[in-house]
Every structure is written in structure tokens, then in C-alpha cells.
């Protein structure tokens, strides 16, 4: 079964450092997403990406965050200068766009746990 893969599974960093989280979405999917989940809290939308540009972003996704699709497979989330409150699980997800029934379903990767010290 096709899957979304994420690396690293866990990253520990010092406050103020830059972090890049990587994702390989499902190969025939066209819409890509980043979500985050602070421990014990709800899943929160960060950004969606389509056709090599951001299609929607939340208030959380401020100037410290950026996304990129540097090649045909990877989709990255960069946090320029991490804060303690950035500690969370970051989930990458993707959907297809065929319009077929059941196509608009969000498939998640296993997540990257970020710990900021």
C-alpha cells in the first residue's frame, strides 16, 4: 500500500536553531500538507501546497516557517529559528485530486517528533 514517509522520526534541537523536516508524499498525489500536534492537543493545520506553491496557510505558519518541493519527490518544512513552543509532532499528509469517489482522503506519514530545548 502506498505510504507517506517522513524523516527524521525524532529530532532534538536547541532553541534558535534551524530545522528541516522531510516528507515523501504518495507518488501520484498532488496536494501536500503539513500539520502539527502538540502533545495532548488537537491536530492543527499549518499549510497546504499544490502546483509548487502554497494554497493555504494558517496563522501558525508565520515567517519562521517555509515549505519547499525541491525535486519531484521531497516536500520539506523548514523552521528557521526554533522556539520552545515549536516542540510537537509534525505530520506530513497528501491527497490525490482525481475527483473519483474517495480520492480526497488525507493520508498521513508517521510524523516527525521535534523537541526544542
Partner 1 sequence: RKEVEQDPGPFNVPEGATVAFNCTYSNSASQSFFWYRQDCRKEPKLLMSVYSSGNEDGRFTAQLNRASQYISLLIRDSKLSDSATYLCVVNIGYGQNFVFGPGTRLSVLP
The residues binding partner 1 (CB under 8 A) are 31, 33, 35, 41-45, 48, 50, 55-56, 58, 89, 91, 93, 95, 97, 99, 102, 104-111
| Burial environment of residue 78 by CB neighbours within 10 A (0 to 12, 13 to 18, 19 or more) | middle
CA distance 115 to 99: 38
> Parallel, antiparallel, or unpaired: how do β-strands 5-7 and 19-24 relate?
antiparallel
Give min distance, CB of 93 to partner 1, in A. 8
Closest CB to partner 1 among residues 17, 98: 98
CB of 66 to partner 1, least distance (A): 18
The answer to whether 46 and 60 have CB atoms below 8 angstroms apart is yes
- Closer CB to partner 1, 24 or 89, in the complex: 89
Amino acid at each position: 500500500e502506498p505510504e507517506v514517509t517522513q524523516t527524521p522520526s525524532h529530532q532534538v534541537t536547541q532553541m534558535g536553531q534551524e530545522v528541516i523536516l522531510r516528507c515523501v508524499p504518495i507518488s501520484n498525489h498532488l496536494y501536500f500538507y503539513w500539520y502539527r500536534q502538540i502533545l495532548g492537543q488537537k491536530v492543527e493545520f499549518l499549510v497546504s501546497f499544490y502546483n509548487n506553491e502554497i494554497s493555504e496557510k494558517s496563522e501558525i505558519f508565520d515567517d519562521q516557517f517555509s515549505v519547499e518541493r525541491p525535486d519531484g519527490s521531497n516536500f520539506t518544512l523548514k523552521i528557521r529559528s526554533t522556539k520552545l513552543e515549536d516542540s510537537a509532532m509534525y505530520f506530513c499528509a497528501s491527497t490525490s485530486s482525481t475527483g473519483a469517489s474517495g480520492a480526497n482522503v488525507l493520508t498521513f506519514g508517521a510524523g516527525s517528533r521535534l523537541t526544542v530545548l
